[in-house]
Amino acid sequence: MEATQKLSYEDAWAFLDRLQFFKIKLGLDSMTAFMASLDNPHREFPCIHIGGTNGKGSVGATLLSILTTAGYRVGFYTSPHLSSVRERFRIGRTFISRDEFAAQADKIIRILNGRQITYFEFTTALALLWFAEQEVDLAILEVGLGGRLDATNIVTPLASVITNVSMDHEQYLGDTISLIASEKAGIIKPGIPVITGISDEQALEVISDAAGKLGSPLYILGRNFSGSALPGNKSLWSYKGTRPFAEEALPLNMKGEYQIDNAALALATLETVKAAFPVTARQIREGLAGTSWPGRLEEFWWQGVKQVHPQPPGNNAPAFHFLLDGAHNPDGAKALKKSLEQDFIYERLILVWASMADKDILSTLMQIAPLANSIIFTRPDEERSAKPEALLEMLPESL
Superfamily of domain 298-394: Mur ligase, C-terminal domain (3.90.190.20)
Q: What is the pLDDT of residues 356-385, one digit of tens each?
A: 998 889 999 999 999 999 999 999 888 889
Percent of the chain surpassing pLDDT 70: 95
The CA-based dihedral angle spanning residues 262, 265, 267, 270, taken in that order and rounded to the nearest 10 degrees: -130
- Give the DSSP letter of residue 353: E
Q: Residue 284 pLDDT more than 90?
A: yes
The average pLDDT across 45-52 equals 98
Tell if the pTM clears 0.75, that is, is over it.
yes
Q: Of the ranges 160-169, 277-286, 308-317, 338-347, which one carries the lowest mean pLDDT score?
A: 308-317
The structural architecture, per CATH, of the domain 9-289 is 3-Layer(aba) Sandwich (3.40)
Closest CA to 357 of 393, 398, 396, 399: 393
In this prediction, residue 307 carries a pLDDT of 67
Give span(s): CATH 3.40.1190.10, the chain.
9-289
Give span(s): CATH 3.90.190.20, the chain.
298-394
d(CA 371, CA 283): 39
Q: E-strand spans in 186-344?
A: 194-196, 218-220, 226-230, 233-240, 246-251, 298-302, 308-309, 320-324
Q: What is the pLDDT of residues 298-311, one digit of tens each?
A: 888 887 766 677 77
Q: How far apart are the first and last CA of the chain?
A: 57
